[in-house]
Amino acid sequence: MVLALDRINSLARRIPTGVVWVGAMIPFVWLVWAAATNRLGADPVKAIELRLGLWGLQFLLASLCITPLRKIGLNLLRFRRALGVMAFFYIAMHFLAWVVLDMGLRWDEILRDLYKRPYIILGMVGLLAMLPLAVTSTHAAIRRLGAARWRRLHQLAYVAAAAGAIHFVILVKGWPLEPLLYAGAVGALLLLRLRVPHKVRT
C-alpha cells in the first residue's frame, strides 16, 4: 500500500498542473459543441444547466477530497487550486445559464422564481460562498491573509458543497439515487473533515 502511494505521489509530481486546467475545460468545450450542433435533446437549455451544475459539484467534491487523501498518504495538494477554481467556473456558468438562457434576463420572473423555488436560493448561497474562495485562490492572496486565516476562509467550500448537494436533491423530483449519492458524499467529507487532525488541515 505504501509503495503504491509513493508511486502515485511520484507520478503526480511529474504531471504539470496545466494538464488539470486543460482537462477541466474539456467538458465545457464539449458542451458548447453539443449545443451548437443540436445534440442536447429536446430541452437543450435544461441540459446545459444540469451538466454545468453537476460538473461544478463534481469538481468541488474532488477538491474537498484532497485533505482526507493526504491523511492516508496520497498528496495531490498541487492540483487543489485548479479543481477549486474550475468548480467555481462551472457553478458560475450554471448560474449564468439559468439567468441568461433560461430566464432571458427577465428580472421580475427571476425574483418570482426565487420566491417559489427555495432550491434556487440554496444554489445562490453555494455560488456566493465560492466567490471569496475564487478571489483568494492566488499565492498573493494567501500571503496577504496569512495561512491560518486563509484556511478558515476556505472552509466555506464545505458550505458551498452542502448547499449545492441540497440544491440538487430538491431540484430533481422523485428522490432519485444520483443526487442522494452526492449529498451522501458531501456528508462523508464533512465527517472526515471533523476527524482530520488540525495539523494536516489545509
Residues 35-74: tens digit of each pLDDT? 999 999 999 999 999 999 999 999 999 999 998 888 888 8
- Rounded to an integer, the average pLDDT of 152-172 is 93
pLDDT in tens, 110-148: 998 888 888 999 999 999 999 999 999 888 888 898 888
High-pLDDT (> 90) share of the chain, % = 62
> What is the domain count for the chain?
1
DSSP letter string over 48-117?
HHHHHHHHHHHHHHHHHTHHHHHHTT---GGGHHHHHHHHHHHHHHHHHIIIIIISTT-HHHHHHHHHH-
Residue-range definition of the domain harbouring residue 171: 2-200
pLDDT value for 195: 66
Is residue 50 a contact partner of residue 171, using CB atoms and an 8 Å limit?
no
* pLDDT surpassing 50 at residue 29: yes
Q: Which residue has the cell 496577504?
A: 144
